[in-house]
Amino acid sequence: MKNILALLFLAVTTAFANGTETNYSDLGQLIVKHFATAPFPHPARTNGHTYQDKLYSAAEHYSDNTVAIFIPKGFRETGTNDFVIHFHGWNNTVAGTLSQFKLIEQLVASGKNALLIVPEGPYNAPDSFGGKLEDPNGFKNFMAEVTETLRRSSAIRQTNFALGQIILSGHSGGYHVLAAMVARGGLAAHVKEVWLFDALYGGTENFLAWSDRQHGRLLDIYTNHGGTTNETLRLMKLLSDRGTPCLATEDQTVTPLELQTNRLVFLHTDMPHNDVIEKRKTFAQFLETSCLTDVGPKARPLH
């Protein structure tokens, strides 16, 4: 049975790599690789993971070490490359996330000069664990492999580039790995922004400590029924009690200037949990107001 599952897993991941790398050729180059430093496999999930009395086996859900790297067309090499790294939530995959939330299309539309990275988390499983990226220096090791992969790729001409600014983005259960990465990932000084897409279920003290140390921008969009309201309100009260200014407003009324000039931003939305990234192009909005520089004129409008 394990051999059959392994073959099925190989077939799915191969199909993703072969099919998806060409799907975005008009927007840039998508590189799909298997990383030794990817979140999984991980010793903590050797025997899989049980949730609500159902076992999610290691072979089916914790063996995929796929990492997708997207280089937008016209990417301007400056010797220092910036990155946006996004983590999917429960019951999703890299391929599903790229398709469902249009991350590549939104990056291209924003006109920002950065590389997008989407690592595979728990594969179609209800689990927030981030595997090796939650280990001490796990993020540093991961970015070293990203750098080496790009240096070997024909898509990047400058092979001796330096690691620049990093934005960490997570939807839903993706919060867990982000909280670990800013606390012990080994690259906190490079992380300039953290975006939580209805994802503040915990890790609050880690995010706050990182923002205090690095003066980074924290963007939190939360819904009525996604389960993140209480923790978001708790963080806002912590900030209020100590006199730290923040912006708390609605996602449909916030202005680009407000997003650019406030370091701690809390956006309430009436959207459902799975709509917060793509429906109103919030990912692109966060990109457009971020610390990233422009690649040039915006490549194409979003529809």
- pLDDT tens for 222-244 read 999 999 999 999 999 999 999 99
Q: What is the pLDDT confidence band of residue 9, given thresholds at 50, 70 and 90? A: very low
Whether residue 288 has pLDDT greater than 70: yes
Convert the pLDDT of each residue in 69-96 to its tens digit: 999 999 999 999 999 999 999 999 999 9
Average pLDDT over residues 43-61: 98
**E strands along 151-207, which residues?**
162-171, 191-197
For the chain, give the percent of residues with pLDDT over 70.
90
Arithmetic mean of pLDDT over the chain: 92
- Partners of 29 in beta bridges: 71
Whether residue 101 has pLDDT greater than 70: yes
What is this structure's pTM?
Answer: 0.92
In a 3-state reduction of DSSP, which class is residue 120? coil
Whether residue 301 has pLDDT greater than 90: no
pLDDT of residue 22: 55
252: region left, alpha or beta (phi > 0 left; psi from -120 to 50 alpha): alpha
Domain topology for 2-288: Rossmann fold (3.40.50)
Closest alpha carbon to 6 in 58, 66, 44, 68 = 58
Q: What angle, 0 to 180 degrees and rounded to 10, lies between the N-to-C axes of helices 175-184 and 138-152? A: 100
Q: What is the pLDDT confidence band of residue 297, given thresholds at 50, 70 and 90? A: low
Whole-angstrom distance, CA of residue 39 vs CA of residue 42: 7
Q: In this predicted model, which residue has the larger pLDDT, 15 or 193?
A: 193
Alpha-helical segments (H) within 126-174: 138-152
Write the DSSP symbol of residue 198. S
Convert the pLDDT of each residue in 152-206 to its tens digit: 988 888 888 999 999 999 999 999 999 999 999 999 999 999 999 999 999 999 9
Residue ranges covered by each domain of the chain: 2-288
Contact 198, 273 (CB under 8 A): yes
